[in-house]
Chain A
Amino acid sequence: MKRHLLEAADLDRADATLVLDTAAQIDQALAGREVKKLPTLRGRTVVNLFYEDSTRTRISFELAAKRLSADVINFSAKGSSVSKGESLKDTALTLEAMGSDAIVVRHSASGAPHRLAHWVRGSVVNAGDGTHEHPTQALLDAYTIRQRLGRLEGVRVAIVGDVLHSRVARSNVGLLHTLGAEVTVVAPPTLLPVGVGSWPVEVSYDLDAVLPKADVVMMLRVQAERMNASFFPSAREYSRRYGLDADRMAVLGDEAIVMHPGPMNRGMEIAAEVADSVRSTIVEQVGNGVSVRMAVLYLLLGGAPS
């Protein structure tokens, strides 16, 4: 494994499989235990450096680090010296001077974790940067698919919705390709990035044509906060063409699963009855997130400092 986890491309097939296998062993080792804590990272300090709002990712990383007995410092830009104008670099160097071994960073600027990785000696884990990547989300999605379907090789995954603004989509495309899955991205042309032709994926504008062949349907959140132009005529029209409702779910194969990275816009990209159906893995994804992040922290921090 590399020292940092900044994007899905940092993991080759062997590394990605190692993370998933490690997460599975941790899951199994902790299942049904009263003491859900391991001493592995005792004395290590993990800083959660969050410049952007987050519920599940921040809590998930915090829980993962605590279950491995690391000390956790939560830093959110709001209420810190960032509001006095302190730069990312100075903030990071300050945290490292206080002895952090790893920085888990979320930032609204794509590439911020890469810059950070050049400034600090410890490990940097990207917890989402702008519209770029969110590698641990892709890992937990791959883990969830493998858990439900028993394999990743040859699994047909449809990633549907706001691909343009989605770091989850970018990381998933990269990681799932590495692991041998066949990915199709489905979106209106306005919500596909310019370079999508160079991605290792099929592209479709027609959700109804893709659904019957899909083993996994991954719905993306429509990221209204990043939309600085009108990408589709109305929410209602988007929902009708690209939303997953009960009628569309009915054409899926028997084994097919529905995923969503959260937070959901119920009624927009995904109907409530789909989100709450037995095909939906949305709650499992959250639970698996802790195991996968434990695996990542163990593999990055457990060994010798380089």
Chain B
Amino acid sequence: MASSSQPARNPAPKTADPSGGILLTAADVARVVDRMAHQLIERAASIDPRSATGGLSDLVLVGIPTRGAPLARRLAARIEAFSGTPVDVGTADITLYRDDLRLRGVRALEPTLLPDAGIDGRLVVLVDDVLFSGRSVRAALDALRDLGRPRSVQLAVLVDRGHRELPIRADFVGKNVPTSRSQQVKVRLAEIDGVDEVLVTEGAPGVREPREEEAR
């Protein structure tokens, strides 16, 4: 496993890229997604080595809207390209499970769509764009509990920027990015934003509260 896929230490060390700017280009994003797809194939196979499909038939990628959803679909497409086995994909909207609605106000809901086979007894991998405080993931775990009983749940994120507020870590990380709290990490994906890139920008004056989906 590449070193950049190791779980982030918490709290994050000093700011690595004080100048801000582009962290990942479109080519970088594609490379990172390919690597994560390979790691997911390995993980599925290690869990069920005797399976004819390398454990992939038990795998469900569940994206957390907004940008986790297309990310999950991309990972599934790459896994199928590399292994020849199609993988189930779903999305789980976590808005109604958030603990910060009172702080941030209500927002429009996004679809929750699970594969017909459901998630009971399967290996669910939650997919999100940025891992920050961990509160989105906590909400997603609560949502999963109401949706079924997976055999195990793992977490894949494109960017881990540190500053966790909960004992949560990712199993698959595209890129670890030490940031300061005042910075913003923006993931843009072609499906939603028309372009693939990850940006780190200095936040507005005054330190913002951590928030996982910066561009939502």
- Comparing B16-24, B93-101, B181-189, the segment that makes contact with chain A is B93-101
How many residue pairs at the A-B interface have CB separations less than 8 Å?
52
Which residues from A are CB-within-8-Å of B110? 25
* Cβ distance B16 to chain A, nearest Cβ, rounded Å: 34
Contact of B216 with A by CB under 8 A? no
* Cβ distance A147 to chain B, nearest Cβ, rounded Å: 16
State which residues 58-98 of A face B: CB under 8 Å.
68
A29's partner among B93, B101, B108, B142 (CB-CB below 8 A) is B93
Say yes or no: A298-B112 contact (C-beta < 8 A), given A33-B146, A39-B96.
Answer: no
Expressed in whole angstroms, the Cα–Cα distance for A302 and B102 within the complex equals 6
Expressed in whole angstroms, the Cα–Cα distance for A154 and B117 within the complex equals 39
Per-residue CB proximity of A7-30 to B under 8 Å, as 1/0?
000000000001001100110110
In the bound complex, do residue A302 and residue B142 qualify as a contact, i.e. CB atoms below 8 Å apart? no
* Cβ distance B58 to chain A, nearest Cβ, rounded Å: 21
B101's partner among A1, A18, A28, A40 (CB-CB below 8 A) is A40
In the bound complex, do residue A38 and residue B96 qualify as a contact, i.e. CB atoms below 8 Å apart? yes
Expressed in whole angstroms, the Cα–Cα distance for A22 and B142 within the complex equals 20
In the bound complex, do residue B109 and residue A22 qualify as a contact, i.e. CB atoms below 8 Å apart? yes
Expressed in whole angstroms, the Cα–Cα distance for A21 and B110 within the complex equals 9
Which residues from B are CB-within-8-Å of A29? 93, 96, 109, 111-112
In the bound complex, do residue B112 and residue A302 qualify as a contact, i.e. CB atoms below 8 Å apart? no
* Cβ distance B142 to chain A, nearest Cβ, rounded Å: 7
In the bound complex, do residue B96 and residue A303 qualify as a contact, i.e. CB atoms below 8 Å apart? no
Contact of B207 with A by CB under 8 A? no
Contact of A201 with B by CB under 8 A? no
Q: Number of contacting residues on A, CB 8 A?
A: 21
In the bound complex, do residue A35 and residue B146 qualify as a contact, i.e. CB atoms below 8 Å apart? yes
A298's partner among B93, B96, B147 (CB-CB below 8 A) is B96
In the bound complex, do residue A40 and residue B97 qualify as a contact, i.e. CB atoms below 8 Å apart? yes
Which residues from A are CB-within-8-Å of B27? none
* Cβ distance B90 to chain A, nearest Cβ, rounded Å: 12
Contact of A264 with B by CB under 8 A? no
Expressed in whole angstroms, the Cα–Cα distance for A7 and B160 within the complex equals 46
Per-residue CB proximity of A275-306 to B under 8 Å, as 1/0?
00000000000000000000000110011110
* Cβ distance A113 to chain B, nearest Cβ, rounded Å: 21
Per-residue CB proximity of B135-166 to A under 8 Å, as 1/0?
00000001000110000000000000000000
Scoring B96, B104, B112 by chain A CB atoms within 10 A of each residue's CB, the highest score goes to B96
Which residues from B are CB-within-8-Å of A38? 96-97, 146
In the bound complex, do residue B109 and residue A25 qualify as a contact, i.e. CB atoms below 8 Å apart? yes
Contact of B105 with A by CB under 8 A? yes
Q: Which 6 A-B pairs have the closest CB atoms?
A: A303-B105, A25-B109, A29-B112, A302-B106, A303-B106, A40-B96
Chain B contacts to A: CB under 8 angstroms: 93, 96-97, 101-106, 108-113, 142, 146-147
Chain A contacts to B: CB under 8 angstroms: 1, 18, 21-22, 25-26, 28-29, 33, 35, 37-40, 68, 298-299, 302-305
21 contacts between A and B (CB under 8 A): A18-B108, A21-B109, A22-B108, A22-B109, A25-B110, A29-B109, A29-B111, A35-B146, A37-B146, A38-B96, A39-B142, A40-B97, A298-B106, A302-B101, A302-B102, A302-B105, A303-B101, A303-B105, A303-B106, A304-B103, A304-B104
